[in-house]
Homo-oligomer: A and B are copies of this chain.
């Protein structure tokens, strides 16, 4: 476990470099609310993506929805394009159990049947509970189960990772 976490900007630049070869003018980038959207916004700009940015809120699709109920600050998803036959780059900040990504895939399929979904994550912290793995990873980090790794956005828009 490193004493300090790396800067986020170079990780996102590295992700963009890995995604660039598979990007076509029709590819859409979709971020998972909240941290995934922040990362997706950066990727969208760095890659000069021609399509509008998509945003997913998977609160209704979580497999523990019935247990935790609806969060008062749920934001609606925003997918301003037809997903049928589309290549999608799905973006999240941290991959852990994989349950969020499963929920996100289900929501995407409710809008249409994409041609492909590739997963880009800023941090893969392991301890997966489902057979879901990223196609593009900024940082692989072995975080103990009792710790959280969080992405924050400062007032100036700067993104930082922290352990808690």
Chain A residues close to B by CB (< 8 Å):
63-64, 90, 101-102, 105-106, 109, 113, 115-119, 129-135
Could you list some 18 contacts between A and B, CB below 8 A? A63-B113, A64-B113, A90-B131, A102-B102, A102-B105, A115-B129, A116-B129, A116-B130, A117-B129, A117-B131, A118-B131, A119-B131, A131-B132, A131-B133, A131-B134, A131-B135, A132-B133, A133-B133
Residue of B nearest to A102 (CB): B105
Chain B nearest CB, measured from A93 CB (Å): 15
**Complex Cα gap A11–B101 (Å):** 30
Residue of B nearest to A97 (CB): B116
Oligomer: number of copies: 2
Q: Which of B101, B109, B130 contacts A63 (CB 8 A)?
A: B109
**Complex Cα gap A131–B102 (Å):** 9
Chain B nearest CB, measured from A98 CB (Å): 9
Chain B nearest CB, measured from A43 CB (Å): 16
**Complex Cα gap A63–B110 (Å):** 10
Chain B contacts of A135 at CB under 8 A? 131
Chain B nearest CB, measured from A29 CB (Å): 14
